[in-house]
């Protein structure tokens, strides 16, 4: 990659973050529009049992997550050797088409299928964009590079998701998704114009990338992320009925609740990136404890407006802070399989998305109420922490095939890519 001025570097990073903004909007907008989606696509069930219809509409969220789980390792393994700018452009086009298809699909089943297709580029985009951002920012700043790309996703929860949710509530959820497709079209143009040419790894092969899955520490890191974000999405997927049915607010209050949660995610992402650069595993342990505390606060105080807003802010902040720490940890323990390590984190997080949405919907459908998903999230923290402990333990063993100074190795790979 050629040397860039600071201004050009910032513009390139902003173009990468714009993709994250679009992804955050397309991924999370369904949370605030589940009642509208259920009312439109499942009218008979909604008329008979609104709670069951909303719980079933949660499949739309799970479908996108399934697309991410499938697409991230597949695309990353096959495409690691290709130039990053061209690959990012293709992925942005795929997002545009998949999101437009989600808006235009005529039935519940076809919308679910379109959401699976729309999710396929998600993990690969974040993985490749994180490597490109790390290349732009330089050695020793991988956590902050990951956080910068993810900042688009967290800012989406402050601006994009509430605005698109409001549009969907006023003009219909289909128009909301068409608006998101427009964001991806703008992302495509921004990447093409602002991101410098960057080679892939010519030595990368599918076999080398997939070798990451032979490392136990990789699996434990993935499990940690999936379980942690499973707890987050158990709450986030049902923010709308939590605010209206438990706190007793009007439907128009939901966008404000989403803005507060998004502000928490934005703040937490910045903190998490810096904590990850100081030490990924210590950051994971500290942040899981904070996340559990935030969930407990929300569970105990969500019946009041101040309690709901404070709880959502802290849940968003602590959950978002975990993500750069987990991704940095994966890059530390994956050896030469950097592309797939950077991408597959998003498979794990979206497996957590699917798990959280499913379990949250299950407890609601069982009649346990709209506060029950918060307790599900708290329960998922326990196996999440155990997975983190196990991952830490296997890399403490001297014979583990992860090299002693993995963070330095990751920086060496980034430096080699720049040369």
Q: Which is higher by pLDDT, 144 or 187? A: 187
User: Is the CB of residue 24 less than 8 Å from the CB of residue 269?
Assistant: no
Q: What is the mean pLDDT of residues 252-280?
A: 85
More confident residue, 281 or 117: 117
CA distances to 18, 27, 79, 120, 129 from 151, in Å: 9, 14, 24, 20, 12
Q: Look at residue 102 in the predicted model and tell me its pLDDT.
A: 93
Higher per-residue pLDDT: 128 or 407: 128
Q: Average pLDDT in the 171-197 region? A: 92
Domains of the chain, CATH where assigned: 6-418 (1.20.1250.20)
Q: Over 80: is that where the pLDDT of 412 sits?
A: no
Q: Give start and end residues of each alpha helix (H) in 80-202.
A: 84-104, 108-119, 122-137, 142-155, 161-171, 173-194
State the pLDDT at residue 358: 83
Whether residue 343 is predicted with pLDDT greater than 80 in this model: the reply is no
Q: What is the pLDDT of residue 273?
A: 81
pLDDT for the residue numbered 344: 80
Rounded CA separation 73/63 (Å)? 17
417 pLDDT more than 90: no
pLDDT tens-digit profile of 285-322? 999 899 999 999 999 999 999 999 999 999 999 988 88
pLDDT of 193 over the 80 cut:
yes
Q: What is the pLDDT of residues 358-372, one digit of tens each?
A: 888 888 888 888 999
Whether 116 has a pLDDT exceeding 90, the answer reads yes
Predicted model pTM: 0.72
Is the pLDDT score of 402 beyond 50? no
Residue 96 pLDDT > 90: yes
For residues 203-224, average pLDDT:
80
For the chain, give the percent of residues with pLDDT over 70.
90
73-93 pLDDT, tens per residue? 888 778 777 888 889 999 999
User: In this predicted structure, what is the pLDDT of residue 204?
Assistant: 64
Q: 142: pLDDT confidence band, cut at 50, 70 and 90?
A: low
Across residues 7-31, what is the average pLDDT? 86
Residue 156 is predicted with a pLDDT of 82
**Residues 6 or more apart in contact with residue 396 via CB below 8 angstroms:** none
Residue 323 contacts residue 225 (beta carbons within 8 Å): yes
């Amino acid at each position: 990659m050629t040397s860039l001025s600071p201004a050009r570097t910032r513009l390139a990073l902003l173009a990468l973050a714009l993709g994250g903004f679009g992804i955050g909007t397309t991924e999370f907008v369904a949370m605030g529009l589940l009642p509208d989606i259920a009312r439109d696509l499942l009218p008979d069930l909604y008329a008979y049992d609104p709670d069951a219809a909303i719980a079933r509409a949660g499949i739309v969220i799970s479908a996108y997550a399934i697309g991410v789980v499938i697409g991230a390792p597949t695309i990353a393994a096959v495409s690691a050797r290709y130039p990053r700018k061209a690959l990012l452009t293709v992925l942005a086009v795929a997002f545009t088409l998949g999101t437009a298809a989600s808006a235009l699909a005529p039935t519940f089943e076809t919308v679910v299928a379109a959401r699976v297709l729309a999710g396929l580029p998600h993990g690969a985009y974040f993985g490749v964009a994180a490597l490109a951002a790390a290349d732009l920012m330089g050695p020793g700043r991988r956590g902050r590079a990951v956080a910068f790309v993810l900042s688009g996703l967290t800012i989406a929860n402050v601006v994009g998701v509430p605005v698109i949710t409001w549009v969907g509530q006023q003009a219909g959820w289909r128009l909301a998704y068409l608006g998101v497709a427009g964001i991806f079209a703008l992302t495509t143009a921004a990447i093409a114009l602002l991101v410098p040419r960057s080679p892939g790894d010519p030595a990368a092969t599918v076999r080398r990338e997939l070798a990451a899955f032979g490392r136990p520490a990789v699996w434990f890191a993935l499990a940690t992320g999936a379980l942690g974000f499973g707890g987050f999405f158990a709450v986030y997927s049902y923010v709308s009925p939590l605010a209206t049915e438990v706190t007793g607010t009007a439907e128009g209050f939901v966008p404000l609740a989403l803005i507060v949660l998004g502000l928490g995610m934005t703040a937490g992402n910045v903190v998490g990136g810096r904590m990850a650069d100081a030490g990924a595993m210590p950051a994971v342990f500290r942040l899981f404890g904070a996340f559990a505390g935030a969930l407990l606060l929300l569970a105990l105080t969500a019946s009041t407006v101040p309690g709901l807003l404070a709880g959502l802010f802290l849940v968003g902040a602590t959950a978002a802070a975990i993500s750069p720490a987990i991704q940095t940890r994966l890059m530390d323990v994956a050896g030469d399989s950097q592309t797939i390590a950077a991408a597959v984190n998003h498979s794990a997080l979206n497996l957590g998305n699917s798990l959280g949405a499913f379990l949250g919907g299950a407890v609601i459908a069982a009649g346990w109420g709209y506060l029950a998903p918060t307790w599900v999230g708290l329960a998922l923290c326990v196996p999440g922490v155990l997975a983190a402990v196990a991952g830490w333990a296997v890399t403490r063993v001297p014979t583990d095939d992860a090299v002693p100074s993995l963070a330095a190795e990751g920086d060496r790979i980034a430096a080699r890519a720049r040369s």
